Amino acid sequence: MMFSAISIAKADAGYQATLRELDDSELPDGDVTVRVSYSGLNYKDALAITGKAPVVRRFPMVPGIDLAGVVEHSDSPSYAPGDRVLVNGWGIGETHWGGLAQRARVSADWLVPVPDAISERQAMSIGTAGYTAMLSLMTLESHGLTTDSGDVLVTGANGGVGGFAIALLACGGYSVVASTGRPAEADYLRRLGATTIIDRTELSEPGRPLGKERWAAAIDSVGSHTLANACAGTKAGGAVAACGNAQGMDLPATVAPFILRGVRLLGINSVTQPHDKRVAAWNRLAAELDLDLLPAMSREVGLSEALSVADDLLDGRVRGRIVVDVNR
């Protein structure tokens, strides 16, 4: 059986990503074969497609770090043909063929049932970004965050993780401070639930070891100086969930927030999580997220369009999520 996929090859001039027809026999090992309905174009996928970072570990590679679809064949007792499933992480799109294809073969251990309350398209409108935002919220709450704690900062507010973090926090009754480099998007951020909007320049430049105590917690997808300043502005006993590195991998901070205020820095790994935690996160997303916000937080492209949109995503010209209909 032939199917369409984006395939990345390594050439002398660098990565070469093309839309190709592949055969079922070329699919990698796995005990479940999925007929993919939708995938997403994430920041990491855009890096893989453009070759601007060494994301891909094996060649040829089908990018796409998440997918949703229907089981076609299963050698696992956990899933049967017709089951709706999704995958986030586990190296797909990097070391194992990913979701930007009409078919995928993966390990049953990586799969999560799509919650009954959402469609496969909605699952990929949420995607890795929304899943990461929910993991961040769950981690902060497990470390004592409540709606009575005070404001919660969200950095990279116009990105996928940032937008879902705002929406989830607002739906849960939290007061949200959104940091953005696109002030023209203020109305959009308020629609998601932000109560206060600040310019990212307040956080993106070198700052003091300790700043004014401004928020009880933060969800940061930016890293570098932004993460350092988010920690410096967190109230005593607060916590910061770090889940991204859009500004950089470095952390030019001091120990002051941690030893003088007891601030906790919590790392969020969205790639490999225990099955029960993944299921809990997706069930909460289906139950707590205002699904009416999804059309404003995402736009849909076809599989062939994903190649050209990758540069726009890396250049910061994309709001929220790019959902990829792999069958058009």
Running along the chain, 328 residues long, what does each successive block of 10 average in pLDDT? Answer: 95 86 97 98 93 90 98 98 97 97 98 98 97 98 98 95 97 98 94 98 97 98 98 98 95 98 98 97 98 96 94 86 96
**Cβ–Cβ under 8 Å, residues 114 and 209:** no
Q: How many domains does the chain have?
A: 2
The answer to whether position 283 is within a domain reads no
The answer to whether position 212 is within a domain reads yes
Q: Which residue has the tokens 């999580």?
A: 273
Structural tokens at position 306 = 């994903």
219 and 185 inside one domain: yes
18 and 107 inside one domain: yes
Distance CA 15, CA 18 (A): 10
State CA 221 to chain mean position distance.
9
CATH of the domain at 46: 3.90.180.10
Distance CA 87, CA 107 (A): 10
Could you tell me the pTM of the whole model?
0.96
Nearest-CA neighbor of 149 among 139, 140, 158, 157? 140
Nearest-CA neighbor of 223 among 172, 276, 267, 167? 267
